[in-house]
């Protein structure tokens, strides 16, 4: 005698019970995974290792997506599962990225791989070298904004300081990042990437280069710094203070400011040309020409006198 086949209502109820059993198994596995992730977080925290590793998280996304495809499932399901399990930063409204300029391209690509829903704001001192990557990531949906605070991390007051915002981002995303500083005393300015890098080549690149050259020239004189201090006047003391600050800064950052800006060679040529012009005027004994050069410099610099001094990183 053949066994009785379950009626459709019975079969439906059996499937429901089977799904309920599978749901409990899935929840137990999720709990185990979350507990392992918590333990990894504790190990990282105790070891001083950054909690987020976007490269590893991107690999997890790809692993889930590949596994779904191998099982005949939509790869988007794998992405959603990975998002549920590991992507808490992806839910943020704003992610600010501050890493060395040479690392920014890879970091942005890793962030884009986890598909954050919010705005990603990078704050490199130069932007031009990132443009191909940023254009590609924006085309793929990353809400990327470039801005540049013209001051270092030790600053406590924003009065008299400037923050530059690059206009190649979506206007709404740009407004979100700019809005963070709307109620501060900082000066907020906007310009495109090319203009930003052209000005930074002078405001930072030339300033750094001239102070570094000044320091090397003092060293080349073979007069000890302490001997110079014995006869230091006000101008030398002011200049030396700035030069000391420059030479004490991060060499990697200062090298990248020179190396990553295509305008650097032009700026360096301008510096050497200016030194040559002053030398030739003195060698010719032309005090009138020397005075004219000083007046022209004074008039040029007077245009920004009312804006107050700026400061770079």
Residue 151 lies in a domain: yes
Q: How many domains, in total, are found in the chain? A: 3
> Could you tell me the pLDDT band of residue 78, with boundaries at 50, 70 and 90?
confident
Whether residues 75 and 96 share a domain: the answer is no
- Distance of CA 77 to CAs 66, 74, 228, Å? 10, 6, 70
Q: Flag whether pLDDT at 187 surpasses 80.
A: yes
Whether residues 72 and 115 share a domain: the answer is no
Q: Which residues contact 244 (CB under 8 A, 6 or more apart)?
A: none
Residue 286 lies in a domain: yes
Residue 242 lies in a domain: no
> Could you tell me the pLDDT band of residue 166, with boundaries at 50, 70 and 90?
very high
Whether residues 79 and 34 share a domain: the answer is yes
Q: Flag whether pLDDT at 309 surpasses 50.
A: no
Question: What span, in angstroms and rounded, lies between the C-alpha atoms of 148 and 169?
Answer: 14
Whether residues 186 and 105 share a domain: the answer is yes
At 312 the pLDDT is 44
Q: Flag whether pLDDT at 308 surpasses 60.
A: no
At 116 the pLDDT is 84
Residue 213 lies in a domain: no
Residue 122 lies in a domain: yes
At 311 the pLDDT is 41
- Flag the least confident range among 4-8, 202-206, 246-250, 276-280: 4-8
> Could you tell me the pLDDT band of residue 51, with boundaries at 50, 70 and 90?
low
Question: What span, in angstroms and rounded, lies between the C-alpha atoms of 197 and 130?
Answer: 11
Structural domain ending residue among the three candidates 163, 179, 194: 194
Q: What does pTM read for this prediction?
A: 0.65
Query: CATH number, domain at 115?
Result: 3.40.50.720
At 235 the pLDDT is 93
At 18 the pLDDT is 87
Q: What mean pLDDT is predicted for residues 278-293?
A: 96
Residue 292 lies in a domain: yes
Residue 233 lies in a domain: no
Whether residues 64 and 97 share a domain: the answer is no
Q: Flag whether pLDDT at 222 surpasses 80.
A: yes
Which H or E element spans position 111? helix 101-113
Full domain range(s) for residue 42: 17-88
Whether residues 113 and 188 share a domain: the answer is yes
Question: What span, in angstroms and rounded, lies between the C-alpha atoms of 111 and 107?
Answer: 6
Mean pLDDT of the chain: 87
Whether residues 82 and 100 share a domain: the answer is no
- Flag the least confident range among 8-12, 159-163, 205-209, 245-249: 8-12
Q: What mean pLDDT is predicted for residues 12-32?
A: 82
Give pLDDT tens digits for 130-149: 999 999 999 999 999 999 99
Structural domain ending residue among the three candidates 194, 215, 239: 194
Higher pLDDT, 24 or 166: 166
Query: CATH number, domain at 82?
Result: 1.20.59.10
Residue 180 lies in a domain: yes
Q: Flag whether pLDDT at 5 surpasses 70.
A: no
């Amino acid at each position: 005698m053949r066994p009785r086949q379950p009626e459709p209502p019975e079969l439906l109820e059996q499937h429901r019970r089977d799904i309920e059993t599978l749901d409990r198994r899935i929840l137990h596995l999720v709990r185990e995974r979350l507990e392992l992730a918590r333990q990894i977080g504790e190990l990282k925290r105790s070891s001083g290792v950054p909690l987020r590793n976007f490269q590893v998280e991107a690999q997890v996304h790809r692993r889930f997506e590949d596994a779904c495809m191998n099982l005949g499932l939509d790869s988007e399901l794998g992405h959603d599962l990975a998002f549920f399990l590991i992507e808490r930063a992806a839910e943020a409204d704003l992610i600010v990225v501050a890493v060395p300029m040479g690392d920014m391209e890879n970091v942005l690509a890793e962030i884009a791989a986890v598909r954050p829903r919010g705005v990603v704001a990078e704050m490199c001192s130069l932007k031009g070298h990132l443009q191909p990557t940023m254009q590609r990531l924006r085309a793929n949906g990353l809400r990327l904004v470039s801005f540049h605070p013209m001051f270092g991390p030790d600053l406590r007051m924003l009065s008299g300081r400037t923050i530059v915002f690059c206009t190649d981002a979506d206007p709404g995303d740009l407004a979100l990042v700019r809005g963070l500083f709307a109620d501060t005393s900082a000066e907020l300015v906007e310009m495109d990437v090319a203009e930003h890098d052209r000005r930074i080549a002078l405001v930072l690149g030339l300033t750094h280069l001239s102070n570094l050259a000044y320091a090397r020239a003092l060293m080349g004189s073979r007069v000890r710094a302490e001997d110079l201090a014995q006869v230091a006047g006000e101008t030398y003391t002011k200049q030396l203070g700035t030069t000391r600050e420059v030479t004490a800064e991060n060499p990697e950052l200062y090298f990248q400011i020179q190396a990553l800006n295509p305008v650097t060679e032009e700026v360096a040529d301008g510096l050497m040309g200016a030194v040559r012009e002053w030398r030739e005027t003195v060698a010719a004994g032309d005090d009138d020409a020397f005075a004219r050069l000083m007046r022209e410099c004074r008039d040029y610099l007077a245009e920004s006198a009312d804006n107050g001094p700026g400061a770079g990183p």
